[in-house]
């Protein structure tokens, strides 16, 4: 809400700098987002009065005006037709500068010297109006500088009004807050409605309301015989500063009063109303209706309509109809001021997609108690700007609302806020924002809520008001009482944090991607329809193809990040991402699992001046998985993977017991190419919840052996297709004294050959040669009993 | 018998042997020639045996003195030569210390993770436990239970992704508060970190971002306690000299509600683009838990009270690291990730 200080000043005396005011409003909950300074863009223009208008001797379409500027009267050549003797006008004297840095020079126009120029609003930079000379308001002194005129120098506060404070979408509402800040009481505008005419509203129009829940308060007032022109400058100026566009005097008045008092109004062309009748109805079924913007709208059951004798003339609180719109030829006006059910207006406005200034205020609830005051105010302003005769009286519906009152205990205020405020301080704070105490009781008080405060419903709302006015700054910072609890360690959190630490220490950079993907990712990864990973959770209102479903695995997003970086010149990347994956489920909510994915491409170092790094291969990614398992106490095994997106020869499923907890391997070239990646990528993805479930992070001490360990090396020939893992497992099974089996060489000449180192360790004694020799025999026997394995000697 | 031994001759011979000596190898050879069993001194000592007693005594003394001094001299030379040899060997180990070292290849945690961990660290030390909830949430938990009924204007504040009617991608981590309170009795002291979603994607919004929310409910929890806890948090994150202010605001699920601002970390209050010339930066929203929210989970607002707060992790990360574009977090450019 944009609030011109010059306007605000009519309600409260603003003896405060706008920046200080802005700061204090902000600390009251009305954040001032900007202060816009309005200054005239012209210079050297004074106010003159037309004393005479004479014909130009040489040009029929020009006149020579005698303009009194106080000390002297000057002859000014002018072409405009809208000036009359007695009008006050802006006179730009020689040397003056107008909008657009236009300099006034002495010159003769068709043989008559003119020491200055009368200006239009456009020339002064006040508006786009260039239809005639700007007529200065009568109360401005002749000879004064126009630049000093009220309204031209102003600070406009751009205030972010909290959504529950609809009452502050008006100058009056903000003035009430400012009044409370400055210890003043906001004054309502003073005016005297001229109702000396003989006609009465009751004789001219009838009013009926079928549903007082939809519309408990409605007032119709009338004015006849107006002539519609532009609104006076001061009114247009204020409307413009508030961010609205002036239209004509009648529309501008309704907008002006809405900005001033917060009450939206609607003016009907009286002659367009069939049967001279207004009925507020709730639509029962679909109704077609053309609004004044020329759009055809469909109203449905529940929408509130304003109807005349033949049908709808307005969608209540939202927009009028084309059929009863004010036009340039409108003479007589029926003016509506009302309170409509906020929820109903909100629903209709949302459905129709119309969020007007009026509906915005009706949605939040207007002040039922000032509906008629706003109507009177508007009729008065119409009368003074467009002439005509005000009809006596009004038509109205007035369903009495039950005024709200709330009990609050003093102790609760102090208990909630933690500040020992005096009772009298509480009462006076509340009074300053028009919350009056109906009665004080022993331990509290009952406060009455004014009609404009729809946000105050229970005691906590009142406590908030006390805190707001007392000032949050004055609330001390305290330490909560009560025993300090020690919070239990969250096992999952320890794991996830540990995994991130492990992976970063392995050289992986962490990614954070949106948890969405494109349905095409499922196809790119060749996920079969029978695979649960193809049952993505769809989003009803996605913001784009790439974000249309929730991801069922993380690897697609990791590949996208790899592609992004390769496209920007990177060659060697190690990335990991930990995040949720989502699956459709029969229950009301989909299931969510945490997943960890890591990938590597290129080599460890692009170059180094010695020992160049080899390109990553399967055993690099497998090593990371094995290290992870070791770090989290997880017993894993591998089996050939059937994942369609992996190169089958270089891919493995990762098992914990019988459970598949993930996969690892080389991503197939076709898959990579669909992400625009031309180089090999090794990748693994595991369900982190399963790692937590099957693993353990609790370290347990094992005594350091007091006896030396013994190592023996073995070499075997073996068939190409015999897995080395089988030999290792067999050897491990030979004796508990075997504490390690490692592969230290593998080569192939004619036959594949493998070299193993076995570690023997006893915790009871020093191992003798005899013992180890005996074990060695068993190892050789066991290993060579595997098909295709032979001892190499 | 007039046999004598020519000591000068001996001295000359020794001198002639020693003076061309250059290497440790030479020295070893000469040591043998002079002092060895068939060396020069042995020759003279053998000759000495042929002399008469007096002469034996005189010459014997002379020879032994010369032998001792020669021996000392050769030992001295040996030490010097070993030293020289060692110096020469050391010379061969010279390297160019200005050549680049082999930097260990480590990864980094994403700045969002680093910020999460920092926030969690501070609140853990204040006794808050970490609680989590689903990203895909029931409308009830995301809105209704938090005092945001259907048609409430506050729903406009958050553009919601819908999965199906009644199921949304959570727009904040506040639903976790409700789930925790439903599952346990007071006292409650939790923070809930996590991803949240809103359908907005432009220069200053991403469809997914991160929040940490906090909740404390117990007997006699006061608004002043909220100020106390958040002051400690902010000064821990942004430094002990950080100015902060609490100003009234509106959230449907808290009352009184407060927006917390910190003195602009960019311009230190002088006014700049980031703080829109106000000198202050919004950092988190907070307030006393609305009595209706307490009733919704079956707590009695007459018995207990509480406070809640919520903050955007990206916002805090941007201020801590000086990042000016929220989208940077999600491009995952290695040149960005490697800076933190
Ligand atoms: Zn700043």
The predicted-structure confidence for A324-341, as pLDDT tens digits, reads as follows 999 888 999 999 999 999
Question: In angstroms, rounded to a whole number, what is the distance separating the alpha carbons of residues A581 and A594?
Answer: 6
pLDDT score at B40: 81
Residue B157 pLDDT > 60, yes or no?
no
Positive or negative, the Cα torsion across B159, B162, B165, B168? Answer: negative
pLDDT of residue B154: 66
| Cα–Cα distance, B300 to A74 (Å, whole number) | 81
Whole-number pLDDT of residue B17:
83
Work out the pLDDT band at A171, boundaries 50, 70, 90: very high
Residues 551-610 of A with CB under 8 A from B: 561, 564-565, 568, 570, 573-576, 579-580, 582, 588-590, 592, 604-605, 608-609
- φ, ψ at A271 (rounded to 5°): -70, -20
The confidence score (pLDDT) of residue B1 equals: 39
Helices (H) and strands (E) in chain B, counts: 12, 10
Q: How far is the CA of B109 from the centre of ligand 1 (A)?
A: 28
Cα distances (angstroms) measured from residue B137 to each of A90, A215, B122, B163: 65, 37, 28, 9
Average pLDDT of A529-544? 92
Question: Are residues A527 and A563 both part of a single domain?
Answer: yes
Q: Give me the mean pLDDT over the A760-764 stretch.
A: 92
Please name the CATH architecture into which domain B111-337 falls: 2-Layer Sandwich (3.30)
State the Cα–Cα distance between residues B27 and B34, nearest whole angstrom.
10
What does each C-alpha distance from B162 to A157, A349, A549, B174, B327 come to in angstroms?
37, 21, 11, 17, 23
pLDDT category at B56 given cuts 50, 70, 90 is confident
CA distance B242 to B316: 14
**Contact between A464 and B107 using a beta-carbon 8 Å cutoff:** no
Compare B85 and A168 and report the one with higher pLDDT: A168
* pLDDT > 90? residue A590: yes
At A295, list the tokens. Answer: 């759009």
Tell me: the pLDDT tens digits for A98-125? Answer: 888 888 888 888 888 888 899 998 899 8
- Length of chain A as a residue count: 793
- The residue ranking higher by pLDDT, A222 or B269, is A222
The more confident residue out of A275 and B270 is: A275
* Residue keyed to tokens 């020469």: B88
- Quick check: is A479 in a domain? no
For the stretch B226-262, pLDDT in tens is 999 999 999 999 999 999 999 999 999 999 999 999 9
Q: What is the β-pairing status of strands A296-299 and A287-290?
A: antiparallel
Pairs across A and B, CB distance < 8 A: 232
Residue A168: closest CA among A457, A454, A459: A454
Q: Are B176 and B133 in contact (CB under 8 A)?
A: yes
Q: Containing H/E element for B226?
A: helix B223-238
Q: Answer whether B56's CB lies under 8 Å from B48's CB.
A: yes
What distance in Å separates the CA atoms of residue A81 and residue B211, rounded to the nearest whole number? 65
Has residue B156 got a pLDDT over 70?
no
Q: Does A540 touch chain B (CB under 8 A)?
A: yes
The helix/strand/coil state of B123 is: helix
Query: Higher pLDDT residue, B11 or B180?
Result: B180
Nearest Cα neighbor of B263 from B286, B285, B280, B276 is B280
Residue A145 has pLDDT above 70, yes or no: yes
| Residue at A53 is within a domain | yes
Residues A252 and A267 in one domain: yes
**What's the pLDDT at A195?**
78
Report yes or no: A92 and A98 within 8 Å, Cβ to Cβ: yes
Cβ-in-10-Å burial (0-12, 13-18, 19+) of A517 comes to: buried
A195 assigned to some structural domain = no
Tokens matching residue A232: 């006076």
Alpha helix (H) residue ranges in A675-768: 688-694, 724-732
Closest by CA position to A684, among listed A497, A495, A551, A508: A508
Which pTM value belongs to this model? 0.86
Q: Which of A363, A398, A433 is the last residue of a domain?
A: A398
Q: Where are the alpha helices (DSSP H) in A441-518?
A: 459-470, 491-505
Give the per-residue pLDDT at A484: 64
Residue A244, both tokens:
């609205």
Residue A194 pLDDT class (50, 70, 90 cuts) = confident
User: Do the Cβ atoms of A752 and A791 come closer than 8 Å?
Assistant: no
- As a whole number, the mean pLDDT across chain A is 92
Say how far residue A33 (Cα) sits from the centre of its chain. 15
Q: What is the tens place of the pLDDT at every residue in B260-295?
A: 999 988 888 888 888 888 889 999 999 999 999 999
In A415-474, the residues whose Cβ lies within 8 Å of chain B are: 415-419, 458-461, 463-464, 467-468, 472-473
The answer to whether the beta carbons of residues B146 and B252 sit under 8 Å apart is: yes
Q: Is B340 on the interface with A (CB under 8 A)?
A: no
Q: Coil, helix or strand for A337?
A: strand
**Residue A339 and residue A368 in contact, taking contact as beta carbons nearer than 8 Å:** yes
Long-range contacts of B320-323 (CB under 8 A, 24+ apart): B320/B115, B320/B237, B320/B238, B321/B111, B322/B266, B323/B111
B150: number of Cβ within 10 Å: 10
> Residue A524: what pLDDT?
96
Tokens at residue B265, please? 């970390």
Q: Is B162 on the interface with A (CB under 8 A)?
A: yes
One domain for residues A369 and A232? yes
Per-window interface: B 36-65 vs A, CB < 8 A:
none
Beta-strand (E) ranges in A442-590?
A: 444-448, 509-511, 516-517, 549-550, 573-583
Residue B2 scores a pLDDT above 50: no
Query: Shortest Cα distance from A484 to chain B (angstroms)?
Result: 7
Residue A125 per-residue DSSP state: T
Distance CA A791, CA A776 (A): 12
Pick from A346, A364, A493: CB nearest B151 = A346
- Same domain, yes or no, for A386 and A408? no
Secondary structure E strands in A292-370: 296-299, 304-307, 312-315, 319-320, 333-339
Residue B69, judged by CB atoms within 10 A of its CB (0-12, 13-18, 19+), counts as exposed
- B-chain residue closest to A582, CA distance: B136
Residues A309, A323, single domain; the answer is yes
What pLDDT, on the 0 to 100 scale, is given for residue B18?
Answer: 85
Comparison of pLDDT for A135 and A598, the residue scoring more: A598
Closest CA to A203 of A396, A398, A392: A392
What whole-number distance in Å separates Cα of residue A582 and Cα of residue A535?
9
Residue A477: which of B138, B189, B231 has the nearest Cβ?
Answer: B231
Compute, in angstroms, the gap from residue B311 CA to the centroid of ligand 1: 19
| Distance from Cα B264 to the centre of ligand 1, integer Å | 5
Residue A486 is assigned to a structural domain of this protein = no
Which chain A residues are closer than 8 Å to B216 by Cβ? Answer: 480
Q: In whole angstroms, what separates CA A363 from the centre of its chain?
A: 19
Q: Domain for residue A421, yes or no?
A: yes
ipTM over 0.85: yes
- pLDDT at position A398 over 60: yes
Which pLDDT belongs to residue A355?
86
Instruction: Examine residue A193 and state whether it is found in any structural domain, yes or no.
Output: no
DSSP secondary structure letter of residue B49 = T
| pLDDT at residue A180 in the model | 96
Using CB atoms, pick whichever of A467, A486, A515 lies closest to residue B135: A515
| C-alpha closest to that of A396 among A201, A195, A188 | A201
Domain boundary among A441, A473, A505: A473
- Identify which has the larger pLDDT, B50 or B319: B319
B201 CB near a chain A CB, below 8 Å? yes
Residues A245, A333: one domain? yes
Query: A449 pLDDT band (50/70/90 cuts)?
Result: very high
Angstrom distances, CA of residue B257 to CA of A598, A782, B286: 43, 75, 6
Per-residue pLDDT, A673: 97
Q: What is the CATH number of the domain that holds A165?
A: 3.30.56.10
Cis peptide bond prior to A42, omega within 30° of 0: no
Burial of A613 (0-12, 13-18, 19+ CB in 10 A): middle
Q: Are A27 and A133 in contact (CB under 8 A)?
A: no
Give me the percent of chain A exceeding a pLDDT of 70.
99
**Residue range of the domain that includes A575:** 491-694
Q: Report the residue from B105, B247, B337 with minimal CB separation from A29.
A: B247
The pLDDT of residue A402: 67
Closest CA to B115 of B292, B223, B233: B233
Tokens 């209709």 sit at which residue? A348
| Same domain assignment for residues A522 and A373 | no
Establish if A380 belongs to a structural domain: yes
Residue A483, domain member (yes or no): no
Which residue's entry shows tokens 């907070």? B286
CB spacing of B250 vs A165 below 8 angstroms:
yes
Dist. CA B214–CA B309, nearest whole Å: 5
Residue A81 is part of a domain; what is its CATH number?
2.40.50.140
Collapsed DSSP state (helix, strand, coil) of residue B17? helix
Domain boundary among A666, A694, A722: A694
Instruction: Please report the pLDDT score of residue A488 as a whole number.
Output: 66
What is the tally of structural domains in chain A?
A: 6
Nearest CB partner across the interface for A605, out of B105, B154, B256? B105
Q: Are A173 and A317 within one domain? A: no
Residue A80: DSSP 8-state: -
Mean pLDDT score of chain B: 90
């Amino acid at each position: 809400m944009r609030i011109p200080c010059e306007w605000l000043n009519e309600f409260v005396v603003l003896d405060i700098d706008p920046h200080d005011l802005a700061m204090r409003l902000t600390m009251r909950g009305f954040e001032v987002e900007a202060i816009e300074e309005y200054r005239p863009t012209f210079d050297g223009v004074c106010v003159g009065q037309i004393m005479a208008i004479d014909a130009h001797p040489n040009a029929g379409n020009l006149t020579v005006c005698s303009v009194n500027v106080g000390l002297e009267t000057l002859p000014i050549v002018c072409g405009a037709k809208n000036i009359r003797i007695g009008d006050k006008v802006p006179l730009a004297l020689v040397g003056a500068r107008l909008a657009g840095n236009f300099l006034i020079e002495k010159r003769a126009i068709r043989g008559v010297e003119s020491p200055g120029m009368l200006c239009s609003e456009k020339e002064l930079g006040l508006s786009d109006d260039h239809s005639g000379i700007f007529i200065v308001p009568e109360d401005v002194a002749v000879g004064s500088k126009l630049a000093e005129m009220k309204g031209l120098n102003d600070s406009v506060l751009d205030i972010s009004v909290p959504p529950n404070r609809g009452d502050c979408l008006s100058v009056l509402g903000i003035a009430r807050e400012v009044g409370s800040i400055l210890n003043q009481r906001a004054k309502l505008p003073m005016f005297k409605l001229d109702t000396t005419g003989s006609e009465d509203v009751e004789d001219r129009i009838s009013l009926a309301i079928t549903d007082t829940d939809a519309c408990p308060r409605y007032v119709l007032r009338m004015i006849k015989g107006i002539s519609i022109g532009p609104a006076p400058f001061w009114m247009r100026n204020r409307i413009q500063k508030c961010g609205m566009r002036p239209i004509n005097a009648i529309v501008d008045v309704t907008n002006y009063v809405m900005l001033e008092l917060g009450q939206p109004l609607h003016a009907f062309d009286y002659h367009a109303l069939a049967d001279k009748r207004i009925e507020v109805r709730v639509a029962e079924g679909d109704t077609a209706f053309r609004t004044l913007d020329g759009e055809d709208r469909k109203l449905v059951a529940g929408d509130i309509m304003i109807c005349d004798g033949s049908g709808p003339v307005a969608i209540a609180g939202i927009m009028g109809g084309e059929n009863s719109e004010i036009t340039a030829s409108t003479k007589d006006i029926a003016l509506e001021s009302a309170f409509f059910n906020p929820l109903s207006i909100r629903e209709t406005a949302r459905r129709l997609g119309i969020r007007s200034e009026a509906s915005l205020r009706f949605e939040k609830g207007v002040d039922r108690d000032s509906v008629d005051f706003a109507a009177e105010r508007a009729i008065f302003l119409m009368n003074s700007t467009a002439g005509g005769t005000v009809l006596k009286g009004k038509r109205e519906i007035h369903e009495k609302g039950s005024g709200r009152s709330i009990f609050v205990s003093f102790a609760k205020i102090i208990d909630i806020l933690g500040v020992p405020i005096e009772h009298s301080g509480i009462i006076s704070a509340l009074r300053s924002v028009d919350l009056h105490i109906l009665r004080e009781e022993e331990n509290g008080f009952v406060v009455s809520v004014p009609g404009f405060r729809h946000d105050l419903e229970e005691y906590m709302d009142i406590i908030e008001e006390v805190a707001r006015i007392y000032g949050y700054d004055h609330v001390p910072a305290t330490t909560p009482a009560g025993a300090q609890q020690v919070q239990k360690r969250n096992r999952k959190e320890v794991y996830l944090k540990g995994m991130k630490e492990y992976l970063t220490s392995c050289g992986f950079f962490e990614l954070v991607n949106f948890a969405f993907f494109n349905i095409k990712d499922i196809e790119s990864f060749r996920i079969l329809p029978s695979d649960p990973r193809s049952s993505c959770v769809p989003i009803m209102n996605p913001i784009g193809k790439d974000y249309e479903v929730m991801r069922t695995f993380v690897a697609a997003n990791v590949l996208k990040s790899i592609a992004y970086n390769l496209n920007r010149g990177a060659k060697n990347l190690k990335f990991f991402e930990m995040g949720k994956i989502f699956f459709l489920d029969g229950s009301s909510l989909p299931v969510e699992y945490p997943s960890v994915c890591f990938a590597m491409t290129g080599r460890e170092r692009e170059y180094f001046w010695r020992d160049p790094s080899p390109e990553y291969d399967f055993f690099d990614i497998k090593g990371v998985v094995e290290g992870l398992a070791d770090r989290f106490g997880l017993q894993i095994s591998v089996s050939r993977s059937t994942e369609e997106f992996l190169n089958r020869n270089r891919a493995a499923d990762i098992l914990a017991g019988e459970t598949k907890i993930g996969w690892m391997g080389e991503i197939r070239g076709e898959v990579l190419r669909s992400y625009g990646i031309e180089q090999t990528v090794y990748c693994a993805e595991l369900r982190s919840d399963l790692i937590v479930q099957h693993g353990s992070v609790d370290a347990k001490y094992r005594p350091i052996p007091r006896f030396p360990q013994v190592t023996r090396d073995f070499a075997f020939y073996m068939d190409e297709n015999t897995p080395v893992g089988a030999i290792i497992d067999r050897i491990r099974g030979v004796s508990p004294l075997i504490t390690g089996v490692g592969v230290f060489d593998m080569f192939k000449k004619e036959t594949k050959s493998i070299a193993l180192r076995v570690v023997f360790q006893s915790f009871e004694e020093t191992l003798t040669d005899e013992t180890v020799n005996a074990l060695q025999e068993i190892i050789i026997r066991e290993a060579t009993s595997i098909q295709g394995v032979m001892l190499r000697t | 018998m007039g046999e004598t031994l020519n000591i000068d001759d001996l001295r000359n011979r020794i001198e002639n042997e020693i003076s061309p000596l250059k290497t440790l190898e030479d020295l070893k050879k000469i040591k043998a020639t002079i002092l060895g069993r068939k060396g020069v001194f042995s020759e003279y000592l053998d000759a000495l045996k042929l002399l008469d007693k007096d002469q034996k005594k005189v010459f014997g003394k002379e020879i032994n003195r010369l032998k001792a001094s020669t021996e000392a001299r050769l030992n001295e030379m040996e030490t010097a030569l070993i030293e020289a040899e060692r110096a020469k060997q050391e010379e061969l180990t010279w390297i160019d210390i200005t050549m680049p070292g082999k930097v260990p290849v480590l990864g980094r945690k994403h700045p969002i993770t680093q910020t999460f961990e920092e926030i969690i660290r501070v609140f853990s030390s204040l006794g808050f436990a970490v609680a989590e909830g689903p990203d895909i949430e029931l409308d009830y938990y995301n809105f209704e239970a938090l005092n945001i009924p259907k048609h409430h204007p506050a729903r406009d504040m958050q553009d919601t992704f819908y999965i199906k009617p009644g199921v949304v991608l959570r727009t904040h981590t506040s639903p976790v508060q409700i789930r925790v309170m439903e599952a346990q009795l007071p006292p409650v002291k939790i923070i809930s970190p996590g991803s949240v979603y809103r359908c907005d994607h432009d220069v200053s919004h991403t469809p997914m971002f991160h929040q940490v929310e906090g909740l404390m409910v117990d007997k006699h929890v006061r608004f002043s306690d909220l100020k106390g806890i958040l002051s400690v948090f902010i000064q821990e994150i942004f430094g002990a000299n950080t100015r902060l202010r609490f100003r009234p605001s509106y959230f449907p699920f808290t009352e009184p509600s407060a927006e917390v601002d910190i003195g602009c970390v960019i311009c230190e209050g002088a006014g700049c683009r980031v703080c829109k010339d106000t000198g202050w930066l919004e950092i988190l929203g907070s307030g006393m838990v609305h009595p209706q929210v307490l009733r919704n989970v079956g707590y009695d607002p007459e018995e207990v009270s509480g406070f809640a707060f919520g903050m955007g992790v990206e916002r805090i990360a941007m201020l801590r690291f000086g990042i000016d574009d929220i989208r940077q977090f999600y491009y995952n450019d290695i040149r960005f990730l490697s800076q933190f």
